Structure 1
């Protein structure tokens, strides 16, 4: 992302995606987002209309809804509407954002299946195979075979040998590298998967929603403490009664009033 507006919008889009992951069908979300990427690549006038900074965000959201309603799932449609509401420095960067969201969605799918390490390793190993097999590389990068034929070739090569997410990501870069070399596209996808694998997710329970400033400070504190990027999943729970609790993996950092009251009750009953 070259423009400051696009970088900020991409960060917002990724955050919106994270909120969608808990309700979306992860077996289809990546493909739906890749489909939007292909649509925007294929239709430059649409790409310009949806990234035009002079147009109202709600107008752009309504346009994408009209185009895609009934064709993709509701979570994917709402995410797409949120993304086009943002400001993008260049029309191309809107399509780039959808591609990145698609890769992250596939990484999240592999993560949910406990196979994100496999996904990262399989993308890397496929890149090495391409390096060693020039005939295979030529078959996959030649402009002559149609995309469907290339997709069938990838399916024949990988079926039963890799995760479904690996197969989908490799099929995408083989059928539409979006102007990059096959090697570079695989490296970019591998990097995004690695970022997903290395991050930490913090479940935060709080009686009221946190402000943007509070979220920023909490992320900074947790990232510094754990030495990793931390993503917040916020759960608003009035029963917390004040303070917050933060759970990262098996570790619970509990500073809530409810926890302190429970501690007092235990002391009283045990006495």
Structure 2
């Protein structure tokens, strides 16, 4: 299964696939995803937790013990907690962000969903978000989850990455194309 999706490969892909298959067998795919999403948010919010996860200074035992306390406090238990502790015990906690991303990709594929990374110059209205989702659904035939990034540097328009495809209709790119064409002509 992991070999079918380029985003699910390597060490993180193997761990994510194992977790996904276990979660599927236990019928807790969404609960595990929710726990992993919560842990991912905790990584973003806590520089100390991120340091614990990434730093090679901490040994497996110290990581596992500290992680256990963090997970208990966050209310993450069961398969998710055991899995994260396994990563720590195996000295693979540093790939947890990649594992979470790969797990999300496996869940999306399982549910027949697609994920698009969309970069916009300013926050889109709900109406525009829905229109974009519908347009992408008509192209893919799947429900599309949007990861929206706001980057004022693109000036206007949007950049959509969906799987291996990318459409860049940003004003920045169009201006760069005009600039390049003018340099060649002049």
When normalised by structure 1's length, the TM-score is 0.40
Q: Which structure 2 residue ranges, 5 or more long, are not aligned?
A: 1-8, 151-157, 165-186
Structure showing greater radius of gyration is 1
Paired position in structure 2 for 1:56: 59
Q: Which structure 1 residue ranges, 5 or more long, are not aligned?
A: 1-5, 111-115, 128-136, 189-271
Does 1:43 find its partner at 2:46? yes
* CA distances 1:216-259 after superposition (whole Å, capped 9, x unpaired): xxxxxxxxxxxxxxxxxxxxxxxxxxxxxxxxxxxxxxxxxxxx
Task: State how far apart, in whole Å, the 2-side matches of 1:71 and 1:151 are.
Answer: 32
For 1:164-183, list aligned pairs within 5 A: 166=143, 170-171=145-146, 173-174=147-148, 183=160
Does 1:68 find its partner at 2:76? no
In the TM superposition, what is the alpha-carbon distance from 1:38 to its structure 2 partner?
2.8
In the TM superposition, what is the alpha-carbon distance from 1:8 to its structure 2 partner?
3.4
Task: State how far apart, in whole Å, the 1-side matches of 2:26 and 2:44 are.
Answer: 27
Task: State how far apart, in whole Å, the 1-side matches of 2:132 and 2:23 are.
Answer: 32
* CA distances 1:152-195 after superposition (whole Å, capped 9, x unpaired): 97468659x97xx945xx24x2269xxxx9634x326xxxxxxx
Aligned length: 145
Task: State how far apart, in whole Å, the 2-side matches of 1:59 and 1:94 are.
Answer: 17
Alignment equivalent of 2:82, drawn from 58, 78, 82: 78
RMSD: 4.2
Does 1:28 find its partner at 2:4? no
Alignment equivalent of 1:14, drawn from 17, 20, 27: 17
Q: Is the 8 A contact 2:32 2:80 kept in 1?
A: yes
Q: Which structure features the higher share of strand residues?
A: 2
For 1:86-125, list aligned pairs within 5 A: 86-88=90-92, 91=94, 93-108=95-110, 110=111, 116=112, 119-120=113-114, 123=115
Q: Is the 8 A contact 1:16 1:82 kept in 2?
A: no
Structure 2 vs 1, CA of residues 42 and 106 (structure 1 numbering), >3 Å: closer, same or farther?
same
Structure 2 vs 1, CA of residues 152 and 60 (structure 1 numbering), >3 Å: closer, same or farther?
farther
In the TM superposition, what is the alpha-carbon distance from 1:101 to its structure 2 partner?
1.8
Q: Is the 8 A contact 2:15 2:99 kept in 1?
A: no
Q: Is the 8 A contact 2:23 2:29 kept in 1?
A: no
Task: State how far apart, in whole Å, the 2-side matches of 1:77 and 1:95 are.
Answer: 15
For 1:75-224, list aligned pairs within 5 A: 75-88=79-92, 91=94, 93-108=95-110, 110=111, 116=112, 119-120=113-114, 123=115, 141-142=120-121, 145=123, 154=129, 166=143, 170-171=145-146, 173-174=147-148, 183-184=160-161, 186-187=162-163
Task: State how far apart, in whole Å, the 2-side matches of 1:40 and 1:166 are.
Answer: 28
In the TM superposition, what is the alpha-carbon distance from 1:13 to its structure 2 partner?
4.5
In the TM superposition, what is the alpha-carbon distance from 1:23 to its structure 2 partner?
1.7
